Chain A
Amino acid sequence: MNWGVLLFPGSNCAEDCFHVIDKVLGKPVTYLWHKDTDLGDVDAIIIPGGFSYGDHLRPGAIAHLSPAMTAVKDFADRGGLVIGICNGFQILTEARMLPGSLLQNKGIKFLCQDQTLKLDNTDTPFTSEYDPGDVVVFPIAHNEGNYYAKPKTIAEMEQNGQILFRYCNADGEVSDATNPNGSINNIAGIINRAGNVVGMMPHPERSSDAVLGLSDGKGVFVSMLKHLEAKHGSDQ
């Protein structure tokens, strides 16, 4: 099971994702380079957080046009698992691999805090380790995390179970008061229609190493791993 972490100029959570796959999961992982068109033999791709191209113009505006992203699209079209975290989510929406867009936080400030999230759809390769309604803590750290899509798109996504995580409080309440950035319907993470591409603003990797006091996020990577292992089992 090979994992790839895609590196852009300005990515700054790539090492963190690498660390979690390598040290916490103990699985093989390599860096992928934004200029490459051939991503090699990987089974899952993480597009990490950071400020690709300095977030100039819009987060993800320049990165999504890089050669590697064409390859990532092909990979996803073939059913490969792709997860974009924070800036990775922004890149995936810019690339139209996920619907909607991430606008500036309603408070117009960068927001770094440990955030409670409520699990919505847990019947996906990324969330199978959780139960619906689970409340977990993942850190957030972003300036443009305010998820927006047209009302019609939102309605379809809601209906299709494409919402994976919502911002909530410690009791699991989802309301305007528990919405840190203004996202529509408190959306924190979504999945594409095909069920193999995820984007989320919160950082599951930062919640995967118990020394740091948080470990809820590990479930995202373990879910992916189990899915891949099951798939590989059936492939063989």
Chain B
Amino acid sequence: MDRINKMSEKKSGMEEKLWIKAGLTDSEYELLTSHMQREPNTVELALYAQMWSEHCGYTHTRPLFKHFLTTGPRIVQGPGENAGIVDIDDDEVLTFKLESHNHPSAIAPFQGAATGVGGIVRDILAMGAYPIASLNSLHFGHPGDAGHTRYLISEVVHGIGEYGNCLGVPTVGGELRFADAYKGNPLVNAMCVGYMKKSQIKKAIATGVGNSLMIVGNLTGRDGMGGASFASKDLDEENEEDRGAIQVGDPFMEKLLIEACLEVFEEDYVVGVQDMGAAGILSSSVETASKAGNGVEIDVSLVPKREEAMRPEEVMISESQERMLLIVKKGMEDKVNKIFHKWDLHAVVIGHVTDDGLYRVLEDGKTVGEVPVWSLMDAPTYILEGQEPAHLQQTRSFKNEDVAVPDDLNITLLTLLGAPDICSKEWVYRQYDHRVQMNTVVKPGSDAAIIRIKDRDKAVGMTMDSNGRYCYLNPRRGAQSIVAESARNQVVSGAEPIAITDGLNFGNPEHPEVYYQLEQSIIGLSEACRALDTPVIGGNASLYNQTPEFGAIFPTPIIGMVGLVKSLDHITTMEFKNAGDFILMIGETRDELGASEYLDQIHGLVTGDVPELDLELESKTQKFILEIIRAGLVNSAHDIGDGGMAVALAESCIAGELGAEVSFDLDLRSDSLLFGESQTRFMLSASFESAEKIIDLASEQGLEAATIGRINTGNQLIINNLDNILIDVNIADCSEAFKTGFDKMMKTDA
């Protein structure tokens, strides 16, 4: 080795500890020197620093993943590949995953969000699949009080739109939520779903000694230097110098990459594929080699670059976008290159699979770094001791009596309909091409997006959900509720939930309270996934989401769920369809105001406990909803979520442009009845005969169900309880509040 920069030669003062600068601890440094049985040079140190970061090595989250259910009859591939795979019958499969791009989006929101989309699409492509839809989950501070937040929202939405639109992958859904906890550290999580035949599945594996590693796509530059370790630190001033690490997305290149890769995959040239995400060439090649138990060698001088004088470690960890690694059968390199050439792209051999289990970096044929592959994959993990956050004692002691019922409940309803978390997100999704590919049967604006599979009588439901406030007030039950809510969105749309991908967005796990939130949320997610039979097939962790000024974000697990609609006839939407239809409510309403949108928006309180959730009842009720939908008994279906029953009812009226009158006989506070968020509830409409059948079926199964009123052609939404009129509002006013809420919010001046 010619290029030895012995660390020890400079190992004197603190500022000389290069491993600290690289993001490794003293004990990690000791561990890696024992793995190597010598001290690393600069190249080797960079390899460990990247691979052992939270982002690549999942150092804090890996030990917690054991809780997850990851198998099931429809699960073809669980966590461990670029994305999980589920079976949707007929030898067809879907692959999907979500990924965060929080820190890049905080700094360069347009590019950060755009490259987030690009990254997750390549994960799907690397599975051999054609990307058929994407979704996104966005969290920001409240825009009302900050021009900067409005700028972030505009730029993030623009970035997601521009990238996805150019690719021709429809952006069909997602969510957009607000809380001050995200002010300094917004969350941008993107999800992509791909489709393929079972026989087309590809793996990220470097088998076959002598096979070639080919890099395809964009040239390599110094972009995103150290992005993986950057994502594994708090966002603060000290990281200022990392902020040069901005990648620029090139969706046009990505589109060509998709076309060319899928064309190559049709032939028998490629044994393995891996996208280049965090830590670029390094992590993609280490992972593929490790899976095969092989070694690899890569010559950095062969990598096509667009910047001069790049150091070997810079080439290895560059996060230039729109690149993929193909493991190509020996002798097939020219054929691969020919297909890429057709699309005006190159495919270049940068190294080979070896049999010695070593990760060898060369420069102009000379070795400049050499470490065991296994040791790079063997990032140390940390099991920490969590501590219940101090605020929970106080928030759990909240009693409904602590707040007064508002005088004018009509105004309360209108306020909620226009509230940031509830109001129409059309401002967002009209910037996304949600119809390209001509499969979008249910477009954004309903509970789940529904994408048909061409030439088949079946479709796919897609959702993304989270609730930071719930998880802040009760991480475990909050996390359960998210899975339940996502599954509700699926079943009301006619889809049977199949599996989830999870995005773990948390603060710095080294803080015991944050670690508690992380651990409890994972336990909650796992419990709900087991109860609802939706295994976790992949996910992403984004920790260290906090700033000195605003502290840690709300604990925000985000889930992306996919469901199967077994016949196009089952597709159901939330809008009321026919005047005269009966309105039914399934599920029990209790005196639960804690953690609600209502407390937050109307009383300015983020407090109380998350509503009770009986997972067994949830599962039973969801199966029932799906059963009656499949039986053709239901004309519209909507889950009752943020803002409670009154909001759900108003949404169905607004979307259907119809009026409704409903009456209850419940001994409950008016605000609990109208706006409480008791779980496991649904709002349906059906013809008279069907409504009767639904009630009968429900009582047979011991489920709470009631016909509460009827749809009419009038312009009013009227809600009575015990002969009192609680709500009597004009649908047009509801609609106005719901549809202009977002615009108003984006125009408010500080």
Contact = CB atoms under 8 A, between A and B. Distances in A.
Specify whether A and B are partners: yes
Interface in B416-455: 429-441, 452, 454-455
A16 B437 contact: yes
Interface stretch (A36-44, A109-117, A156-164, A184-192): A109-117
Contacts of B455: 23
Contacts of A49: 436
B431 A111 contact: yes
Interface in A119-168: 139, 141, 143
A213 interface: yes
A178 interface: no
Contacts of A111: 430-431
Interface stretch (B163-171, B220-228, B471-479, B696-704): B163-171
Contact size range, A = 20 to 34
Interface centre among B429, B436, B439, B441 (most CB of A within 10 A): B436
Interface string B138-173: 000000000000000000001001100111100000
B255 A203 contact: no
Interface stretch (A51-59, A70-78, A90-98): A51-59
Contacts of A113: 430
Contact of B161 (A13, A110, A205, A206): A110
Contact of A54 (B161, B251, B434, B436): B251
A56 B255 CA distance: 14
Contacts of B429: 112
Interface residues of B, number: 33
A5 B168 CA distance: 16
Contacts of A212: 435, 438-441, 452
B158 to A, nearest CB: 8
Contacts of B616: none
A112 B430 contact: yes
Contacts of B438: 16, 19, 205-206, 209, 212
A10 interface: yes
A15 B168 CA distance: 10
A110 B428 CA distance: 10
A26 to B, nearest CB: 14
A19 B436 CA distance: 12
A141 B437 CA distance: 12
Given A12-B255, A53-B252, A139 B435 contact: yes
Contacts of A209: 438
Nearest to B162: A110
A56 B162 CA distance: 12
Given A13-B168, A211-B452, A211-B568, A112 B252 contact: no
Given A109-B431, A205-B438, 19 more contacts: A9-B256, A10-B252, A12-B166, A12-B167, A13-B436, A16-B438, A51-B166, A51-B255, A54-B251, A55-B252, A56-B252, A111-B430, A112-B165, A112-B429, A141-B165, A206-B438, A212-B440, A212-B452, A213-B441
Contacts of A110: 161-162, 165, 430-433
A199 interface: no
A60 interface: no
22 contacts: A9-B344, A10-B166, A13-B436, A15-B437, A16-B437, A16-B438, A23-B455, A51-B166, A51-B252, A51-B255, A54-B166, A54-B251, A54-B252, A56-B252, A110-B431, A111-B430, A111-B431, A112-B431, A205-B438, A211-B441, A212-B435, A212-B439
B255 A9 contact: yes
Contacts of B431: 109-112
Nearest to B444: A112
A54 B435 CA distance: 19
A109 B437 CA distance: 21
Given A9-B252, A10-B252, A55-B166, A141 B441 contact: no
B153 to A, nearest CB: 13
